[in-house]
Structure 1
Amino acid sequence: MALTNPFGGVEIFIAVVKAGSFTAAATQFGITKSAVAKAVAQLEGRLGVTLLHRTTRRLSLTPDGQAYLGQAETAFDLLRSAEDVARSRASTVRGILRVDMPAAFGRRIAMPILLNILRAHPDLRLEASFSDRVIDPVEEGVDLCLRFGELPDRTDIAARPLGSQRLVLCAAPRYLDDAGEPTDLRDLQNHACILGG
């Protein structure tokens, strides 16, 4: 069963009336003048009324055409409004963004950026969690996972480097006087209270 668009001729009819000719409407739609005339004739046949008086010099609306035009324009305005609403909803950033990030980096660096994004998109909500452990974002329902280190070799998630961070080891001079200065990474096992921050 072939699907037909019963309203295609309506849009062409409105264009003919607004443009004042079949030729101008044909140009607007990028079709031939005869295709426009055929669409209007099919619409009139379907409705069982004559919508336009046609002469070689001009077009004019019949009383039925005048009544139909008003209703058709109102209906098409409503359809255009509905499409505009649908398009704007499709382009609106909305919903819940679930983000998991390292605690110190997340609070100091990522959260201010995320809060700016929320201000720009009032229909967006944020669920933030802070952890340094490796997680499976798909399994845990996380949309964005920020981590330091090597990128995982996975095909089911999109991962990309966002930047680099220089890490340094720091200690209070008095601590180093008491505990000694490490010279190798293995020496760190013997030191107390190592924190990341």
Structure 2
Amino acid sequence: MDMENIFKAATAIAAVIGGARVIYELTLGTHSRLRDEYRFAKEFLHDLCETNASKKLQPLAIERGYYALAGTRTIPAQDIAYLIKLRDPDKRLKDYVLSRVYVEFDSASHRIRYRKKYRHSLSRLWRKGSWLLTYLAASVLAMSPLLIAGPLQAGTQFMLWSLVTIPLFGLAAGQALRNFFAIGRGEALVNEQQKHTPIIEHPASVKRLRH
């Protein structure tokens, strides 16, 4: 077996092992993580309900509780308080976290809306197209040393360039794909929000957070 075939085989084996390890770790941690998230959500929402009835939960505890529910501090607590009252709250929270660049919570209308620059559908459409093309181009560039080594009859040294192109352009491809999905998730969030009966009632808690 020549060096070119050895390199290809080693690359393929490394990719398979890496993918298998990620899948294993995600699967192993899923059940315990979901149980922990359930316990926290149950306790926090119970505390909010009890607060309105007889207790006074500190604003700091409320704020940090909302951040913990969303898994991030990048969005305001009052936005999270609204999102958890929507249908499919877990999905809506994830949609909002991912698409935060493109959508925002309007406190006046009490609705999620597009940011000014993205309110026209054509503006979102061409951006999605651009991100998708960027993803495809970056993916090809990332794998280019492996793709063209055969047709060019290049040696193993040329294929070693993939050690540079895969991390460099792979990151660009991943970011482009993330932005593409972020716009789509933002659109889904705006389109699917609807008037509904709140799951929990905590107007006093949210009001305190705004001051």
TM range (shorter): under 0.3
Structure showing greater radius of gyration is 1
How high is the TM-score relative to the length of structure 2? 0.22
Higher RCO by CA contacts (8 Å cutoff, separation 6 or greater) = 2
How high is the TM-score relative to the length of structure 1? 0.23
Which one has the bigger strand percentage? Answer: 1
